[in-house]
Amino acid sequence: MRTLPGTALCFASFLFVLLSSQIGYAQVDTFEFETDEQQRRFRQLSDELRCPQCQNANLSGSSGGVAEDLRREIHRMIMEGMSNAEIEQFMFERYGDFIFYRPRLRSDTLLLWFGPLIFLGIGGVVAWTISRRARQTDAAKTELDPKQQQQLDKLLNNSESRS
Protein backbone atom coordinates (compact mmCIF):
# COMPACT_ATOMS: atom_id res chain seq x y z
CA MET A 1 0.00 0.00 0.00
CA ARG A 2 2.66 2.42 0.94
CA THR A 3 4.55 2.49 -2.31
CA LEU A 4 1.50 2.48 -4.57
CA PRO A 5 0.68 5.80 -6.17
CA GLY A 6 -2.85 4.55 -6.46
CA THR A 7 -3.51 5.13 -2.81
CA ALA A 8 -2.51 8.73 -3.17
CA LEU A 9 -4.83 9.14 -6.11
CA CYS A 10 -7.55 7.61 -4.02
CA PHE A 11 -7.16 10.41 -1.56
CA ALA A 12 -7.26 12.90 -4.37
CA SER A 13 -10.72 11.80 -5.37
CA PHE A 14 -11.87 12.06 -1.78
CA LEU A 15 -10.79 15.64 -1.52
CA PHE A 16 -12.64 16.67 -4.61
CA VAL A 17 -15.91 14.95 -3.86
CA LEU A 18 -18.50 17.64 -3.74
CA LEU A 19 -19.27 17.91 -0.09
CA SER A 20 -22.53 19.07 1.34
CA SER A 21 -24.07 19.26 4.76
CA GLN A 22 -21.08 19.07 7.00
CA ILE A 23 -21.05 19.85 10.67
CA GLY A 24 -20.12 23.38 11.64
CA TYR A 25 -19.78 25.40 14.78
CA ALA A 26 -19.60 28.91 13.45
CA GLN A 27 -21.98 31.42 14.83
CA VAL A 28 -23.65 34.08 12.78
CA ASP A 29 -23.92 37.71 13.83
CA THR A 30 -25.74 40.28 11.83
CA PHE A 31 -24.23 43.45 13.21
CA GLU A 32 -24.54 46.53 11.08
CA PHE A 33 -21.58 48.75 10.40
CA GLU A 34 -21.31 52.09 8.70
CA THR A 35 -18.03 51.49 6.93
CA ASP A 36 -16.04 48.56 5.60
CA GLU A 37 -13.19 49.60 7.86
CA GLN A 38 -15.38 49.09 10.93
CA GLN A 39 -16.44 45.67 9.68
CA ARG A 40 -12.80 44.74 9.11
CA ARG A 41 -11.81 45.90 12.60
CA PHE A 42 -14.66 43.95 14.14
CA ARG A 43 -13.57 40.83 12.32
CA GLN A 44 -9.95 41.28 13.26
CA LEU A 45 -10.70 41.88 16.95
CA SER A 46 -13.10 38.94 17.14
CA ASP A 47 -10.46 36.75 15.53
CA GLU A 48 -7.66 37.81 17.83
CA LEU A 49 -9.53 37.75 21.15
CA ARG A 50 -10.03 34.52 23.01
CA CYS A 51 -13.33 33.24 24.31
CA PRO A 52 -12.93 33.07 28.15
CA GLN A 53 -15.38 30.22 28.49
CA CYS A 54 -14.30 27.91 25.69
CA GLN A 55 -11.63 25.25 25.52
CA ASN A 56 -9.54 27.12 22.98
CA ALA A 57 -11.42 29.26 20.51
CA ASN A 58 -11.55 32.87 19.43
CA LEU A 59 -14.60 35.09 19.72
CA SER A 60 -15.42 34.62 16.01
CA GLY A 61 -15.57 30.90 16.29
CA SER A 62 -17.66 30.52 19.44
CA SER A 63 -21.42 30.51 19.68
CA GLY A 64 -23.42 31.84 22.60
CA GLY A 65 -22.27 32.61 26.10
CA VAL A 66 -19.65 35.16 27.00
CA ALA A 67 -18.30 35.18 23.43
CA GLU A 68 -21.59 36.47 22.12
CA ASP A 69 -21.72 39.19 24.78
CA LEU A 70 -18.16 40.25 24.08
CA ARG A 71 -18.76 40.49 20.36
CA ARG A 72 -21.73 42.70 21.09
CA GLU A 73 -19.53 44.89 23.26
CA ILE A 74 -16.91 45.11 20.53
CA HIS A 75 -19.55 46.22 18.07
CA ARG A 76 -20.82 48.82 20.51
CA MET A 77 -17.33 50.14 21.17
CA ILE A 78 -16.47 50.36 17.49
CA MET A 79 -19.68 52.26 16.79
CA GLU A 80 -18.90 54.60 19.70
CA GLY A 81 -15.64 55.42 18.02
CA MET A 82 -13.22 53.68 20.39
CA SER A 83 -9.86 52.76 18.93
CA ASN A 84 -8.52 49.20 18.80
CA ALA A 85 -6.12 50.00 21.61
CA GLU A 86 -8.97 51.27 23.80
CA ILE A 87 -11.08 48.20 23.07
CA GLU A 88 -8.17 45.94 23.92
CA GLN A 89 -7.61 47.84 27.15
CA PHE A 90 -11.27 47.32 28.04
CA MET A 91 -10.84 43.59 27.54
CA PHE A 92 -7.57 43.48 29.44
CA GLU A 93 -9.07 45.20 32.49
CA ARG A 94 -11.68 42.48 32.76
CA TYR A 95 -10.03 39.30 31.55
CA GLY A 96 -6.31 39.90 31.58
CA ASP A 97 -3.65 38.55 29.26
CA PHE A 98 -5.65 35.40 28.75
CA ILE A 99 -8.00 37.05 26.32
CA PHE A 100 -5.30 38.04 23.82
CA TYR A 101 -4.23 35.45 21.30
CA ARG A 102 -1.45 37.83 20.30
CA PRO A 103 0.64 38.05 23.48
CA ARG A 104 1.54 41.62 24.47
CA LEU A 105 5.18 42.50 23.99
CA ARG A 106 6.52 43.06 27.50
CA SER A 107 9.64 42.29 29.43
CA ASP A 108 8.27 38.90 30.41
CA THR A 109 7.33 37.94 26.86
CA LEU A 110 10.59 39.08 25.26
CA LEU A 111 11.88 35.54 25.20
CA LEU A 112 8.72 34.44 23.45
CA TRP A 113 8.83 37.02 20.69
CA PHE A 114 12.57 37.00 20.16
CA GLY A 115 13.08 33.30 20.79
CA PRO A 116 12.72 32.27 17.16
CA LEU A 117 15.20 34.95 16.11
CA ILE A 118 17.62 33.71 18.74
CA PHE A 119 17.11 30.15 17.53
CA LEU A 120 17.85 31.29 14.01
CA GLY A 121 21.00 32.99 15.21
CA ILE A 122 22.15 29.86 17.03
CA GLY A 123 21.29 27.80 13.95
CA GLY A 124 23.34 30.11 11.79
CA VAL A 125 26.34 29.82 14.10
CA VAL A 126 26.03 26.03 14.19
CA ALA A 127 25.76 25.87 10.40
CA TRP A 128 28.79 28.12 10.04
CA THR A 129 30.84 25.95 12.40
CA ILE A 130 29.87 22.80 10.54
CA SER A 131 30.67 24.45 7.25
CA ARG A 132 34.10 25.56 8.43
CA ARG A 133 34.98 22.11 9.64
CA ALA A 134 33.66 20.60 6.43
CA ARG A 135 35.85 22.88 4.39
CA GLN A 136 38.86 21.88 6.48
CA THR A 137 38.02 18.20 6.04
CA ASP A 138 37.66 18.76 2.37
CA ALA A 139 41.00 20.49 2.10
CA ALA A 140 42.67 17.84 4.24
CA LYS A 141 41.31 14.99 2.21
CA THR A 142 42.40 16.49 -1.07
CA GLU A 143 45.87 17.46 0.09
CA LEU A 144 48.68 14.97 -0.09
CA ASP A 145 51.08 14.39 2.77
CA PRO A 146 54.84 14.85 2.04
CA LYS A 147 55.47 11.15 1.37
CA GLN A 148 52.59 10.96 -1.13
CA GLN A 149 53.84 14.19 -2.71
CA GLN A 150 57.29 12.59 -3.19
CA GLN A 151 55.73 9.53 -4.80
CA LEU A 152 53.73 11.71 -7.15
CA ASP A 153 56.78 13.73 -8.12
CA LYS A 154 58.70 10.56 -8.80
CA LEU A 155 55.93 9.19 -11.02
CA LEU A 156 55.65 12.42 -12.94
CA ASN A 157 59.38 12.62 -13.47
CA ASN A 158 59.47 9.03 -14.68
CA SER A 159 56.68 9.55 -17.13
CA GLU A 160 58.22 12.79 -18.39
CA SER A 161 61.63 11.18 -18.99
CA ARG A 162 59.92 8.36 -20.89
CA SER A 163 57.90 10.52 -23.18
Partner 1 sequence: MSKLKYFIPVIAFVGLALMLWRGLYLDPKELPSMLIDKPLPEFAMTTVEDSAISNANLPDGMFLLNVWGSYCLPCLVEHPTLMRLAEEGEIPVVGINYKDRKELALDWLDTNGNPFEFSIYDDLGRLGIDLGVYGAPETYLVDANGVIRYRHVAVLDEQVWQEVFEPAIAELNAESTP
Partner 2 sequence: MLPELGSFSLILALCLCGMLGTLPVVGAHTGNQLWMNLARPLAAGIFVFLGIGFAILVYAFLTDDFSVSFVAQHSNSLLPMRYKFTAAWGGHEGSFLLWTFMLAGWMFTVGVFSKSMPIDFVARVLGVLGLITFSYILFMLATSNPFDRIVPLPPADGADLNSALQDIGFILHPPTLYMGYVGFSVVFAFAIAALISGRMDAAWARWSRPWANVAWAILTIGIALGSWWAYYELGWGGWWAWDPVENPPLITWLFGTALVHSLAVTEKRGVFKSWTILLAILAFSGSLLGTFITRSGLLTSVHAFASDPDRGFFILGILGIAIGGSLLLYAIRAPLMKADAGFELVSREMFLLANNVILVVAAASVFLGTLFPMVYQAITDDLISIGPPYFNAIFAPLMMLLVVFLGIGPMSRWKRTSPAYLVAQLSRVALASLVLGVVLPLLVLLEFSLAASITLLLALWVIFSIARDMADKTANKKTRVAGLRSLSWSYYGMQLAHLGIAIMLVGVSLTSYFSSERSVLLDIGGTVELGGYRFDLVDSRRIEGPNYFGEQVEMTVSRDGEVFRVLYPERRLYVASGTPSTEMAIDAGFFRDLFVTLGEQRESGAWTMTLYVKPFVRWIWLGALFMAFGACIAAGDKRYRRLRVRETKKAGSPSSEAMPAAS
Which residues of this chain interact with partner 2, rule CB under 8 A? 2-5, 8, 11-12, 14-31, 47-48, 50, 54-58, 60-61, 63, 96-103, 108-109, 112-113, 115-116, 119-120, 123-124, 126-127, 130-131, 133-141
* DSSP character at residue 27: -
Q: 28-44: buried (b, 16+ CB within 10 Å) or exposed (e) per residue?
A: eeeeeeeeeebeebbee
From the list partner 1, partner 2, none, partner contacted by residue 94 (C-beta under 5 to 8 A by kind): partner 1
Q: Hey, how many other C-beta atoms are within 10 angstroms of the C-beta on 79?
A: 14
Q: Report the sign of the C-alpha dihedral through residues 146, 148, 152, 154, in that order.
A: positive
From the list partner 1, partner 2, none, partner contacted by residue 155 (C-beta under 5 to 8 A by kind): none
Cβ at position 67, least distance to partner 1 in Å = 10
Nearer to partner 2, 30 or 159 (CB): 30
From the list partner 2, partner 1, none, partner contacted by residue 66 (C-beta under 5 to 8 A by kind): partner 1
CA atoms of 83 and 34, how far apart (whole Å): 15
CA atoms of 156 and 107, how far apart (whole Å): 69
Nearer to partner 2, 87 or 99 (CB): 99
Q: Give the x/- contact pattern for partner 1 in 95-134, rule: CB under 8 A.
A: xx-x------------------------------------
From the list partner 2, partner 1, none, partner contacted by residue 116 (C-beta under 5 to 8 A by kind): partner 2
Region at 64 (left for phi over 0; alpha for psi -120 to 50; beta for the rest): left
Cβ at position 94, least distance to partner 1 in Å = 4
Cβ at position 142, least distance to partner 1 in Å = 23
Q: Give me the helix-helix angle, 84-95 and 65-79, nearest 10°.
A: 150
CA atoms of 61 and 68, how far apart (whole Å): 10
